Chains A and B, each alone.
Chain A
């Protein structure tokens, strides 16, 4: 169990246009509707949109280097997080990943999805 008590990435759906948004959301950034549904778990699979390895430790994040990825989830929503075990992977734009877990700071941790 993660620090936030959740085991899946959560999204919400706009009840007017169907767009899936990162939870929490207060209005739809596509159509402007404020009719937002209940939180729902995302499937966890996606692809890397862009990435960077942060080399310089900064306040609250002494464990540099770490890789930040923006992941486009299968539901269409994009979520930023870390790529766990990046040192042993060749991560590029388009690399398939899956959500692994929330770490002790509730940072979403992804892992590369290897075929098979």
Chain B
């Protein structure tokens, strides 16, 4: 396999984007990534597009072809990938595999999602189709799914509602430093605790945002990258892990086997361990998820995720900053775009272009997404290739 690098990245402002279409978001981020990469568009050999709800909420399937058309490369093979919240990251991984194995040289990866279409009940119902539909019939939507894990984690390790709230407060703070974030307002721990309960023990502020947004990256072989861009970011690892598609009969309710398998494979590929990682973008669909994830990724022992947040370990300026973009909580969760947005953040940080939210001494980035029950997990590791 060849070494692969990210040459360019693009992202639009995320939020509730009533006046934007998936087409024009694709064009904005795709063009931005191509310009940033310095790769002429006639060298792009394929488009990998991540999108979940286009068919249901935007009347648009086959969005890969739509993207190629919108970017003026309609004859290029272009396909859509779907893996619940892992969608964008899976699109990136498929593109990575093609480049690493010499199928293509330069390819474009896009994640795009438009969720705010004037009917939030329908949007929440469509998003929740990422869980097993056989179980979904009992009224287990996304917040209640992860509330089950929160209850189990609190029971097993004494994790508190205050510690969950500290995850939200931290990520709102990080988001306030990110001009692309959906939410740039800060909330206190008290604000988070006072919010209406959605599904015990998760309140409104424990839930990620329902966001419209898009991000794109151009990747290619590292050996050819420097012909176009002096600052390529190398992909040190790309791994995916899996677990049951159901909520019941899981390996565990306080740890996700898909994450453990993916991160083990990723550390092995990169020949690195958790102690080598400078910062993390991880799937904080709910506050409890970030706590479980930092444990499963090996940054703290199992059960100590709550205490780590409380101690400031994961805050910008802490030992291992987590979700400095604002995460799904404040940058927002644009479903199929989120995994690509994480890679945008990793690249900006590694280049030292992250402005107020810049992590000092950012050397190695880890990005991590979860999809479904969770039944899928992706881990990517990046470092400067220059």
Contacts and interface: CB of A to CB of B under 8 A. Distances in A.
Contacts of A78: 248-250
B20 interface: no
Interface in A47-76: 49-56, 58-61, 66, 68, 70
A53 B199 contact: yes
Contact of B152 (A50, A82, A107, A108): A50
Per DSSP, are chain B's interface residues mostly helix, strand or loop, or mixed?
mixed
Nearest to B148: A50
B248 A106 contact: no
Contacts of B122: 59
Contacts of A82: 138-139
Per DSSP, are chain A's interface residues mostly helix, strand or loop, or mixed?
strand
Contacts of B147: 52, 54
B247 interface: yes
Chain A interface residue bracket vs B: 20 to 34
Contacts of B155: 50, 92-93
Contacts of B248: 22, 70, 77-80
Interface string B99-130: 00000000000000000000001101100000
Given A53-B200, A59-B125, A70-B247, A93 B151 contact: yes
Contacts of A107: 137-139
Contacts of A81: 138
A55 B249 contact: no
Contacts of A59: 121-122, 124-125
A63 B248 CA distance: 23
Q: Which of A80, A92, A93 has the most CB of B within 10 A?
A: A80
Interface of A: 21-22, 29, 49-56, 58-61, 66, 68, 70, 77-82, 92-93, 105-108
Given A21-B249, A53-B197, 8 more contacts: A52-B202, A56-B198, A58-B121, A78-B248, A81-B138, A82-B138, A93-B152, A93-B155
7 contacts: A29-B249, A52-B199, A53-B197, A54-B139, A77-B249, A78-B249, A80-B140
